[in-house]
């Protein structure tokens, strides 16, 4: 039996790289696995040797203690790998294939999957619709910040790269197909971004930068990115975005007017989520700050793409309501302006194949936009710390040293 190591959530101790069990084609009992999922056979799945796997901002929510994630959870839902074992029920995926794994786990058989709503599959998580690898309340599926990982429903889920050599040349771009590129694109697309649109993106972390790059691909005439971190804003400017430093300005509309001549945009994206901060020097944590701000600055009849994560339980929240996901959102303003809100996990499979084509053709440069930075598996704890400190980087873990 081969060895395996992974990044494990250790509660207040943060994360550690530990020896973990080598995957089998079954979901065993473990941290966060619902009883109804224990022993679930996955002969429709494969074992992957992980080529690259990324640290995500939503992982940071758990590591900061802002969710009810259990200790011992193996993290990681952004997985690209080589197939090394194939279950008996797999027909079309073969050993040696290099594949991208959508972060949503989906069966391909329920009514939601048949309607392409793979982010709310009804069969993979007994506790609620929708599932993901290595994430709290998402069915207990083992994460992929590891050397090897099991992926169920392989024929339906896996995106096979058509050319191995070209895939490895573009691997730092292709690794973003698992989550942040589709998620950023989903935010911009569902906000209605099109030819000539003016767009405001809240948050210059990797998803916000991916949303900004996606808005450019969709034909936006101006993309404005707001954040409290100057290093991340500089990264947004590096590929042609306008920026607003929200640590210095608490009147977003005025800053947008200084750029566009009007205080509103056609479309807005919330790439921050529930750990939002108020604007200005003394903003502090305000979970609804971004939602209220994008309603303020989006024109009447506009759309709000909200790929930023919101949760039902936040033990580290600043007030009692927020601990259960109840936020002080000025919904009346959104109603009065006839805004459209699009929320929830991104159905990655709706976008990943077309975005792969953009990458392979050289039309999309997502790795450059998010500043993809390669680290080893042993460097993962430092990567988490640097990311939490605001580094303008998207950390890509190379568990086997393949990219060297």
Q: Which element (helix H / strand E) includes 54?
A: strand 46-54
DSSP letter (8 states) at residue 363: S
Structure confidence at residue 369 (pLDDT): 98
Structure confidence at residue 404 (pLDDT): 78
- Helix/strand/coil for 330: coil
Domains of the chain: 5-179+347-398 (3.90.180.10), 183-342 (3.40.50.720)
d(CA 294, CA 334): 9
Structure confidence at residue 374 (pLDDT): 98
Tokens for 266, please give them. Answer: 């056609």
Weakest mean pLDDT among 124-138, 229-243, 304-318: 304-318
- For residue 301, the tally of other CB atoms under 10 A from its CB is 11
Reply yes or no on whether the pLDDT at 105 is more than 80. Answer: yes
Q: How far apart are the two ends of the chain, measured CA to CA in Å?
A: 26
Average pLDDT value over all residues in the chain: 96
d(CA 224, CA 245): 11
pLDDT band at 169 (very low <50, low <70, confident <90, very high): very high
Q: What is the pLDDT of residues 177-198, one digit of tens each?
A: 999 999 999 999 999 999 999 9
Which pTM value belongs to this model? 0.96
Which residue in the block uniquely carries the two structure tokens 């793409």? 305
Tokens for 81, please give them. Answer: 């790998």
Higher pLDDT, 282 or 41: 41
Reply yes or no on whether the pLDDT at 76 is more than 60. Answer: yes
Sheet containing 242-245, strands listed edge to edge, beginning at the edge strand earlier in sequence: 242-245, 222-227, 198-202, 265-270, 298-305, 340-342
Q: What is the pLDDT of residues 317-367, one digit of tens each?
A: 888 889 998 999 999 999 999 999 999 999 999 999 999 999 999 999 999
Judge contact between 97 and 114, C-beta under 8 A: no
Structure confidence at residue 285 (pLDDT): 86
Reply yes or no on whether the pLDDT at 138 is more than 90. Answer: yes
Reply yes or no on whether the pLDDT at 1 is more than 70. Answer: no
Q: What is the pLDDT of residues 212-259, one digit of tens each?
A: 999 999 999 999 999 999 999 999 999 999 999 999 988 999 999 999
């Amino acid at each position: 039996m081969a060895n395996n190591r992974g990044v494990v959530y250790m509660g207040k101790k943060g994360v550690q790289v530990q020896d973990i069990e080598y995957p089998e084609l079954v979901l065993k009992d473990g941290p966060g696995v619902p009883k109804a999922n224990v022993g679930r056979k996955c002969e429709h799945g494969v074992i992957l040797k992980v080529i690259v796997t990324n640290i995500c901002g939503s992982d940071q929510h758990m590591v900061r203690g802002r969710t009810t994630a259990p200790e011992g959870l193996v993290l990681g839902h952004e997985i690209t790998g080589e197939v090394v074992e194939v279950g008996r029920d797999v027909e079309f995926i073969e050993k040696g294939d290099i594949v991208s794994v959508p972060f949503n786990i989906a069966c391909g058989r329920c009514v939601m999957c048949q309607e392409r709503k793979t982010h709310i599959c009804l069969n993979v998580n007994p506790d609620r619709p929708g599932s993901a690898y290595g994430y709290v309340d998402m069915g207990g599926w083992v994460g992929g910040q590891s050397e090897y990982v099991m992926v169920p429903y392989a024929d339906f889920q896996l995106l096979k790269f058509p050319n191995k050599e070209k895939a490895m040349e573009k691997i730092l771009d292709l690794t973003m197909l698992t989550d942040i590129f589709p998620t950023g694109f989903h935010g911009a697309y569902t906000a209605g971004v099109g030819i000539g649109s003016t767009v405001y993106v809240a948050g210059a972390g990797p998803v916000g930068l991916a949303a900004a790059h996606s808005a450019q691909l969709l034909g936006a005439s101006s993309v404005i990115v707001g954040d409290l971190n100057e290093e991340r804003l500089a990264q947004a400017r590096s590929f042609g975005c306008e920026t607003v430093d929200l640590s210095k300005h608490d009147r977003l509309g005025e800053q947008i007017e200084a750029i566009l001549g009007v205080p509103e945009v056609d479309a807005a994206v919330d790439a921050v989520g529930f750990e939002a901060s108020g604007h200005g020097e003394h903003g502090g944590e305000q979970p609804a700050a971004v939602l209220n701000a994008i309603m303020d600055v989006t024109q009447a009849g506009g759309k709000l793409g909200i790929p930023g994560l919101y949760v039902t339980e936040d033990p580290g929240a600043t007030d009692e309501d927020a601990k259960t996901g109840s936020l002080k959102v000025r919904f009346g303003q959104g109603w009065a302006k006839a805004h459209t809100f699009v929320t929830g996990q991104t159905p990655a499979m709706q976008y990943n194949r077309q975005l792969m084509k953009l990458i392979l053709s050289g039309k999309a440069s997502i790795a450059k936009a998010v500043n993809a930075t390669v680290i080893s598996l042993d460097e993962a704890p430092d990567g988490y710390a640097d990311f939490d400190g605001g580094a303008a980087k998207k950390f890509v873990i190379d568990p086997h040293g393949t990219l060297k």
